[in-house]
Amino acid sequence: MKIGITCYPTYGGSGVVATELGKELAGRGHQVHFISYALPFRLDGFRENIFFHEVELPDYPLFEVDLYSLSLTSKMVDVVLYDDLDILHVHYAIPHATSAWNAKQILNEQGRDIKIITTLHGTDITLIGLDPTLLPLVRFSIEKSDGVTAVSRYLREKTLTNFNLEREIEVIPNFVNTELWKRGDSEHLRKRFAPNGEPVLIHASNFRPVKRVTDVVRVFAQVRESIPVKLVMVGDGPDRAEAERLCRELGFCDDVHFLGKQSGLVELFSAADLFIMPSQSESFGLSALEAMSCGLPVLSNSVGGLSELNLHGTTGYISEIADIDRMARYAIDLLKDNRRYKRFSDAARERAVSQFSAKDIVPAYEEFYERVLAQESVSQPATSL
């Protein structure tokens, strides 16, 4: 099968899932063509069956706004025609699903049909897609996709409700290659972060407001009042400066390591003990799954699809948003009880392997592709938006 994948190439869950899916599909013999404005950050090194097509933006003084969605449409048309794709699989509704639909219309005029699959990831539905200026376009793009998937049951229900839709949306959860994402020997890193053998808390995100990264710092502040502990912060974004300022204000900068964006997360997770995710909204929580696959219990909030991943009292603990005190108590309880910690760590790894392994989830995408290819294309609209 020849599959075109479009995603945001930056440090974020939707781009990570799309890239990892493409890598897994290529490993299973499919031909995968990534179409984006930059190389996805997890697409490192040469890989058999993977091709990259860069979307170039026109440089013309008349245009005062970004024409990425139009340039993306044009590139999609070219790749479908000249590489004979079977499917365009777009991740994140805006603007990828719209660009794919426009490409489909151009191709139809040339007697060439292409199936469009849209995977919804979260803020494209719960935040950006609800903007009144975009909502009609998002609804239209979802309705006109030949197949739609969501990464959690929560996101499927939010999509159907927010956009008043009645169409089928397949739930295919995020996944992790559990053969690669597993605890390894990171003793050298652990000694760097915690030279006296202290437990290590870790957080990884894009440091946007929805991730509530200052809550991570506040939880850490309370934990370190009870036990010696270190904190590792992985990622970058608009709230990093505020988190660093808070560390300085509270007077424990030497105990917190801000590493910025990193690609070696397996090694970093292997050097840590607890993963903290106090997000305000998460449709799934991919970084939490990756941490669980490395045997880290997760402390998260009771939002979105996280409860479908992190089992309270089994793989970690779930708190209410902004309940710093409770999250800190959970962390202290786990770190002070070695037997309980070991039980939670084993359960986190087992859940990742048994429920969210790439070897089980990627075939679900393949089966979905086959079903979409076998059906008639969604009928073309007779009316405008």
The pLDDT assigned to 383 comes to 36
Work out the mean pLDDT of the chain and round it to a whole number.
92
* CATH number belonging to the domain at 187-356, selected among 3.30.300.10, 2.30.38.10, 3.40.50.2000, 3.40.50.720: 3.40.50.2000
Q: In this structure, what token pair is assigned to residue 45?
A: 């090194």
Domain spans of the chain? Answer: 2-175+359-374, 187-356
CA angle 101, 102, 105 (to 5 degrees): 90
> Residue 123 burial by CB count (10 A; 0-12/13-18/19+): exposed, middle or buried?
buried
Distance (Å, whole) CA 53 – CA 40 = 11
Distance (Å, whole) CA 125 – CA 164 = 12
Q: Which amino acid is at 360?
A: D
Q: How confident is the model at residue 58 (pLDDT cuts 50, 70, 90)?
A: confident
Span 148-172, pLDDT tens digits:
999 999 999 999 998 889 899 999 9
Taking residues 313-318, what's their average pLDDT? 98
Q: How many CA atoms lie within 13 A of 41 on its CB side?
A: 13
Span 166-204, pLDDT tens digits:
899 999 999 999 999 999 988 999 999 999 999 999 999
Question: DSSP 3-state assignment of 5?
Answer: strand
Taking residues 139-151, what's their average pLDDT? 94
Q: In this structure, what token pair is assigned to residue 376?
A: 């008639």
Residue 358's CB is within 10 A of a number of other CB atoms, namely 20
pLDDT greater than 80 at residue 130: no
CATH superfamily of the domain spanning 2-175+359-374: Glycogen Phosphorylase B; (3.40.50.2000)
Fill in the DSSP letter of residue 128. G
Provide the whole-model pTM. 0.90
The pLDDT assigned to 379 comes to 47
The pLDDT assigned to 90 comes to 97
